[in-house]
A and B are shown apart, each in its own frame.
Chain A
Amino acid sequence: MIPHVETNQDLRAWPGDIPVEHLYTAGPAGDAALRAMKERAALLGSRCNACAVTYVPARYFCERCFARLNETVDVPARGIVKAVAVVSEDRDRKPLRKPVVLGLVALEGATGVFLHRLGVKKLDQAKVGARVEAVWKPPEERTGSVEDLLHFRVV
Chain B
Amino acid sequence: MSQPSQTPGTALRAEDFSSGRVITVRDRLFTRYAWDAGVAIGRYLAGLRRGVILGSRCPKCDRTVVPVRSFCERCFSALVDEVPLTDRGTVNTFSVTYVTWDMKKLEKPLIPAVIEIEGASKGCGILHLLDPDLDPKTVKVGMRVRAVWKGTRSREGAITDIRHFARLEEGAGA
* A144-B23 in contact given A14-B35, A21-B28 (Cβ < 8 Å): yes
B31 contacts which of A2, A5, A17 (Cβ < 8 Å)? A17
A140: chain B residues within 8 A (beta carbon)? none
* A11-B42 in contact given A21-B27, A22-B28 (Cβ < 8 Å): yes
Contact A24 B24 (CB under 8 A): yes
CA–CA, A13 and B35, complex, Å: 5
Binding site for A on B (CB under 8 A): 10, 12, 17, 20, 22-37, 39, 42-43, 45-46, 78, 80, 157-158
* A16-B33 in contact given A10-B42, A22-B28 (Cβ < 8 Å): yes
B10: chain A residues within 8 A (beta carbon)? 28
B37 contacts which of A1, A2, A14 (Cβ < 8 Å)? A14
Contact B78 A12 (CB under 8 A): no
B33: chain A residues within 8 A (beta carbon)? 14-17
Contact A15 B22 (CB under 8 A): no
* A21-B22 in contact given A3-B39, A14-B35, A16-B33 (Cβ < 8 Å): no
Contact indicator per residue, chain A 51-75, by CB within 8 Å of chain B (1) or not (0): 0000000000000000000000000
Interface residues contributed by chain A, number (CB under 8 Å):
29
Contact A26 B22 (CB under 8 A): yes
Contact A35 B29 (CB under 8 A): no
Binding site for B on A (CB under 8 A): 1-3, 5, 9-18, 20-26, 28, 30-31, 34-35, 91, 144-145
* A145-B25 in contact given A10-B46, A14-B37 (Cβ < 8 Å): yes
Q: How many A-B residue pairs have CB under 8 A?
A: 74
Contact A12 B157 (CB under 8 A): yes
Of chain A, the residue at the smallest CB distance from B20 is A144
Contact B25 A26 (CB under 8 A): yes
Contact A24 B34 (CB under 8 A): no
* Distance of B47 from chain A, by nearest CB (Å): 12
* Distance of A18 from chain B, by nearest CB (Å): 7
CA–CA, A137 and B114, complex, Å: 58
A26: chain B residues within 8 A (beta carbon)? 22-25
B35: chain A residues within 8 A (beta carbon)? 13-14, 16
B36: chain A residues within 8 A (beta carbon)? 11-13
B39: chain A residues within 8 A (beta carbon)? 2-3
Of chain B, the residue at the smallest CB distance from A11 is B42
A145: chain B residues within 8 A (beta carbon)? 25
Of chain A, the residue at the smallest CB distance from B33 is A16
B26: chain A residues within 8 A (beta carbon)? 21-24
Contact B24 A23 (CB under 8 A): yes
Other A-B pairs beyond A16-B33, A22-B29, A23-B25, 7, CB < 8 Å = A9-B46, A15-B32, A17-B33, A23-B17, A25-B23, A34-B23, A91-B30
CA–CA, A131 and B23, complex, Å: 31
B27: chain A residues within 8 A (beta carbon)? 21-22, 24
CA–CA, A1 and B158, complex, Å: 24
B30: chain A residues within 8 A (beta carbon)? 91
CA–CA, A26 and B23, complex, Å: 6
Of chain A, the residue at the smallest CB distance from B27 is A22
A34: chain B residues within 8 A (beta carbon)? 23
